[in-house]
Amino acid sequence: MKYVFLIIPCILCLWVPLYNRLEPTLWSIPFFYWFLLVLVPVSALFIWIAARIEGSDS
């Protein structure tokens, strides 16, 4: 189960057609940039969840 939480951010980061566009903009920042900026804390959250799941297994 923990591997699912680790693979989701990887898939989101590698799925370039998902975020390779300019619209919608956020505070005049194109979608491409703010999606990648949002992906950093989201990835950290998923890694934290995977670590918590691993901790409960052992």
Per-residue pLDDT of 1-58, as tens digits, reads 788 888 998 998 899 898 888 889 889 999 999 999 999 999 999 999 988 887 765 5
**Torsion-angle region of residue 28: left (phi > 0), alpha (psi -120 to 50) or beta?**
left
The Cα-based distances of 39 to 4, 31, 54, 55, 58 in angstroms read 16, 12, 22, 24, 29
pTM: 0.74
